[in-house]
Amino acid sequence: MTKETAANDLYAVLVSQNELLDTMLATQKNIRTAVTGKVWTDLESFLYKMNELSEDFAELESTRGNLCRTLCSSAETDAVPDMYQVVCLISGNLRTPVLDLFHQVRRKLAESKIENDALNDYIRITKDFLQGVFDSVIPQRRNTVYSRSGTVVKPVPESLVLNTIL
């Protein structure tokens, strides 16, 4: 594979990653909406879709790494070269578009991480709140329970049945 072909393929992979990240960000927003709205069937389908998108992104990332190694004439077992080293080896007319796309992909990855962290914080805070409610409402064993390593284990209800009228 020539370096020019590898550079064009790298550009195509970055375009695909950029488009895939747009879809992933939209799916993450749908997941957040399903969690906050407690629409569990939608959540399950969105999580399945996100898993498929993540697998597709991992394949594209592997391809991008191989193309970067090809452009830098590195062995497949070597670490993926820094993108700025790779861009220096690309011809002038494709250098700026590749670098711009790489920056867009990095920005969207950061945005995705922030969205994921926000959702994880929401879930953790909600879980802690509910655990606090259960601890104060549901009578638990008052004796201390220890783990195999000797640390105190906080008793957690094994199951709970709520009778509600909607």
pLDDT value of position 139: 60
Beta-bridged to residue 15, according to DSSP, are none
CA distance 106 to 93: 22
pLDDT value of position 155: 65
pLDDT value of position 33: 94
Residue 131's pLDDT band, with cuts at 50, 70 and 90, is confident
CA atoms within a 13 Å half-sphere pointing along the CA-CB vector of 105: 22
Residue 150, by phi and psi: left (phi above 0), alpha (psi -120 to 50) or beta? left
Q: What are the tokens at 95?
A: 């250098």
pLDDT digits (tens, 9 = 90+) for 59-104: 999 999 999 988 888 767 677 788 888 888 888 888 899 999 999 9
Q: What are the tokens at 109?
A: 């990855």
Question: Is residue 77 helix, strand or coil?
Answer: coil
